[in-house]
Structure 1
Amino acid sequence: MLLLTCSAAALTAGSMPTAAATPDETTTPARSEGSPRAYQVGEEQVADVRIDYAARTARQVISRPGSSYVKVHFAALALADGDRVTVSDPTGAEVHTYSGDPTKGEAAATDSLHTRQGSGFWALSITGDTAVVTLHRAGRAPSTSDTGVVVDKYFRGYSKAEQAQRDLGILSVCQTDARRDSVCYQQSHPTEYGKSRSVAKILYNGASHCTAWRLGSTNRLMTNNHCIGTASQLASMEMWFDYACATCGGNNPKPAVKVTGAQFLKTSANLDYTLFSVNNFASIESFGYLLLDVRAPVRNERIYITGHGDGDPNELSIFEDTQGGATCDVDNPNSDSINMGYYCDTSGGSSGSPVLAASSNKVIALHHLGGCLNEGTRIELIYPEIKDLIDNGGGTPPPPPPGGKFENTNNVTIADSPGAAVTSDVVVTGQPGNAPSTLKVNVDIKHTWRGDVVIDLVAPDGSAYRLKNSSSSDSADNVIVTYTVNASTEVANGTWKLKVQDVARYDTGYIDAWSLQY
């Protein structure tokens, strides 16, 4: 066996079980994935990190030596206008910026993505064992309500040594582990390598992980239902694209491109799939996408798998046992009513990986079970349930979701400070489901000193999204801007409000018009 991975040591192999796994199997050998589940790769830690405006230092470090990542939770974030907090690695190569609490509508449209699980919010994770939390001041005096930063907990990823201690054996590796870093195949198998770039690691609830991949040219991703089963679970997810070794066998994964879940589109517990979209889709478009091979698998046809087993940087499983030996193939095209079986190596965290037919380089199964045979749901069964939601390369992509423009052109006078905030309503009707993750808010406000103005978008349920903070140095006239808001957790239909307040004296203005573009 030749096992080259940038983050995993060589693993010992045991005997190969002969029984296929099933979702309710309870006597699976230790080396089998058994019932579908997300693979735990980290744990939550309690913290008491505070940076207030009276603090002597504006920088705090959260570190657990050897950890693979750190993901910080903000219990409170209340900043003066113009201030911001960053979460970064010690070198500044990875930086996430927040100017306000997004759960209270205080974040700017340019703030970094975040995830939600319970109260407060979670910053995007930092790869490595150290996260640096820094308060950056713009110079304005804080108000009594500007209390600064409170971090009450964080997730940290297990080191490889800790993972090895927790593992009972190699999950779903049949005989010897022939997987290699995807970059190892860049020259010898360029097509397979190219397909691996469309695959992402899922960080689930900060402590577990699975695999997902881009499906078609539009904003669609697929994984297992047992990885993402509900919209609330999707809100806690990060997807790491381009998380792969730079060189074959080197301990040098690239900085990942991290995005978060947006719309929960379709799922099936029986077929164990979920279709969803992500925020900041433009940042991952360059990694390409996969298409579906909608047909019955054929016994002995060659296949390969690409994914993030054990949470490692991307690996390819092309050979069954040894490099240059027998290639992965379909060993049982109908291992039960929904699955096909294979001895191609996977491990905990490979759930959601695409199984590709070498003849077409398209996805023929969705991996979700281990046990040697390992198993994946046949794509021919999934496709009929999602065909109207995806572009499978058949020519014309599916039409975009029903959209529309909803506008209010009635003028609303903005009271000079210390007057109360004013609102202007737009009523949205006929839109299915939730608002989009790229909701366009077109604002036209006439004002003689726009730096005085604070603007919020208020959703039908009362949730507020900060569009603009005040700025004492911005003396220009008028606010004529289109903001992009991730409103995917809000019901689309209902009364939306543009809330505007003048927070400094002497200058006046009015809301001329505003609109929502779906």
Structure 2
Amino acid sequence: MQWPFSFFLIALAAVDTAAQATGQEVEILGIYVLHFTHFNLPESDRLVLWPSEDPETTPAVAVLSGKNATGNFHSTAISGNGVVLELFKTPVSDQSSSTSCRGFTVDRLLFTPKELVDEAQHLQVAVKVPLTNLSNTTDTNDNDHINNESLCGADESVEAACAPSATNSAEGAIMLAKSQPVARLSIIKDNGMVIAYCTGWLLGCEGHLITNQHCIGNNQDALNTKVEFLAQSTSCKGGETCDSQGGCPGPIGVTSPTLVAVSEELDYAVVRLGINDSIADYSGLYEKTSGYLQFRASGAVPKESIYIPQHPLGYGKRIAWLYNGQPGRVESLTVTECREDDVGYYIDTQEGASGSPILGTSDHNVIAMHHCGGCLNGGIPAQSIIEDLTTKGVLPKCSVAT
């Protein structure tokens, strides 16, 4: 049995400061981010973060425990009028003892009014990956090429739900089904005032997800990542508005995954998800996402047709497979825009598509992972990632098609 303890935080001082800085009246509604300087809970205890509007009926934004959080980090961004922290403690035996200091410390509550968030989204401020910028713009002189994900001509991508009607119905239905393991990532970057959007996808059958290293570069980025599955329209042209950052929220959300492997050279990061505060059983997740994706061991084939499920600009899921009205294909195996020997293609991507899988239409396996633009756009070859994960001894089970 667990006993709850509740705390309520609201950014009154921050609102006053923001009002003075902008010269305008600012409402309390906005984005809240908590900064933890210390976090050390028993594995069985949980700290749940909720928007303050109605914690009884509103889904939790984050669930932190000794299993998935430790040390110094920023929380997932919370949208609302305030934040409720609810600590659920499991009674322990009197005989139990520990030499460590249990508990947590929140030293800062960062707040941005909704008006300023809307303005930043309207301006589409970008820092390495597309952002909701909650503070000053960050210098992006280093590795600018990683941010140049490109539309090659007019945007020919469609909302994921429209793929069956926009192409051969059977082929489009398979594309839609294979896009279900693809997720939108929102990442609180290290200064706590920036939300970066990327794309990731389920790799193999043990709860792993892969994206770009320039999205999740270290343990703190992983801890500050929210993963949304099925963040997409439920029907084609059904009236839902997905073309905004965070549009069409996903019904399946996972926070604070654990970093497993990272490579700056190959620009990939692999994390493992915690489902309902446990990493033991992923069957429920796979049922909802129609399974997981797998690499093709042999990689890309020149001129083969491909498609890319993605979350460009942090929008709801879209699928791209055309270039100038014709099926997109692998144009090169030696693109050098971002690194040597990337897979090259003209299919449309935009910032936020970083980490998207590139699938071959012949077998619907992943032949590369998108990470770079320039027309040709570039993806890291599947076989390079497989080799590196194998060398590190962390290649997820079921991650390579047989």
Q: 1:73 aligns with which of 20, 28, 34?
A: 34
Who is 2:163 aligned against?
A: 185
Q: Residue in 2 aligned with 1:266?
A: 261
Kindly indicate whether residue 203 of structure 2 is the aligned counterpart of residue 215 of structure 1: yes
Whether the 8 Å contact between 2:179 and 2:309 is mirrored in structure 1 is: yes
User: Residue 133 of structure 1 corresponds to which residue in structure 2?
Assistant: 83
1:333-352 matched pairs, under 5 angstroms: 333-336=333-336, 337-352=340-355
State the Cα distance separating 1:210 from its structure 2 match.
1.1
1:184 CA displacement: 1.0
From the superposition, tell whether residues 358 and 131 of structure 1 become closer, same or farther in structure 2 (CA, over 3 Å).
Answer: farther
Q: Secondary structure at the match of 1:232?
A: helix
Distance (Å, rounded) in 1 between the aligned partners of 2:381 and 2:12: 45
Taking structure 1 as the reference length, the TM-score comes to: 0.51
3-state SS, counterpart of residue 178 of structure 2: helix
Report the residue type matching 1:326 in the other structure.
Q
Shift of residue 201, structure 1, vs aligned partner: 1.2
In the aligned structure 1, how far is the partner of 2:175 from the partner of 2:389? 25
* Structure 2 portions without partners, runs of 5+: 1-9, 16-26, 39-46, 89-104, 127-146, 189-193, 243-247
Deviations 1:17-64 (A, max 9, x none): xxxxxxxxxxxxxxxxxxxxxxxxxxxx976489xxxxxxxxxx9414
What is the Cα deviation at residue 335 of structure 1? 1.8
Q: What secondary structure does 1:246 align onto?
A: coil
2:154 aligns to what? 176
Moved more, 370-379 or 312-321: 312-321
Q: Which amino acid aligns with 1:198?
A: P
* 1:235-286 deviations in Å (ceiling 9; x for gaps): 1211111111223243162444221243322221111111121111546333
1:389-428 pair list within 5 angstroms: 389-392=395-398
In structure 2, relative to structure 1, the CA distance for the partners of 1:76 and 1:118 (3 Å cut) is: closer
Alpha carbons 2:309, 2:318 under 8 Å: kept: yes
Partners of 2:72 and 2:398 lie apart in 1 by 36
Between the aligned partners of 1:201 and 1:269, the Cα distance in structure 2 is 21
2:50 is matched with which residue? Answer: 87
Asked if structure 2 preserves the Cα contact closer than 8 Å seen for 1:308 and 1:315, the reply is yes
- Say if 2:130 is the partner of 1:152: no
Cα separation, 2, equivalents of 1:191 and 1:49: 49
- Contact kept, 8 Å, 2:50 with 2:85, in 1: the verdict is no
- Give 1:202's match in structure 2, choosing from 173, 180, 185: 185
Q: State the match for 1:235 in structure 2.
A: 223
Partner residue in 1 for 2:386: 383
Question: Following the alignment from structure 1 to structure 2, what is the Cα–Cα distance between the partners of residues 247 and 161?
Answer: 29
Tell me the residue number matched to 2:320: 317
Q: Percent identity?
A: 25
- How far does the alpha carbon of each residue in 1:320-346 deviate from its partner, in whole angstroms, 9 at most, with x for none? 24xxx2011111122243301111100
Query: Which ranges of structure 1 fall in alignment gaps of 5 or more residues?
Result: 1-44, 51-60, 65-69, 78-83, 139-147, 397-518
In the superposition, relative to structure 1, how do residues 170 and 215 fare at CA in structure 2: closer, same or farther (>3 Å)?
A: closer
SS class of match (1:95): coil
**Residues 1:97 and 1:268: Cα distance change in structure 2 (over 3 Å):** closer
The answer to whether 1:278 aligns with 2:278 is no
- The 1:362/1:76 distance shift into structure 2, 3 A limit, reads closer
Equivalent in the alignment of 1:305: 308
Q: How many residues align?
A: 309
In structure 2, the partner of 1:372 is: 375
Partner residue, 1:465: none
Relative to its length, the structure with more helix (as a share) is 2
Shift of 1:199: 0.9
Give 3-state SS (helix, strand or coil) of 2:335's partner: coil
Match of 2:137 in 1: none
Instruction: Specify whether residues 211 and 137 from structure 1 end up closer, same or farther in structure 2 by C-alpha distance, changes over 3 A only.
Output: closer
Partner of 2:60: 96
Partner amino acid for 1:390? P
| Distance in 2 (alpha carbons) for counterparts of 1:179 and 1:276 | 28
Larger radius of gyration: 1
* 1:165 corresponds to 2:123: yes
**Alignment RMSD (CA, Å):** 4.1
Amino acid at match of 1:371: G
> Equivalent residue for 1:13?
none
Deviations 1:353-410 (A, max 9, x none): 10111111010011000111110011111111224521236699xxxxxxxxxxxxxx
Secondary structure at 1:96's aligned position in 2? coil
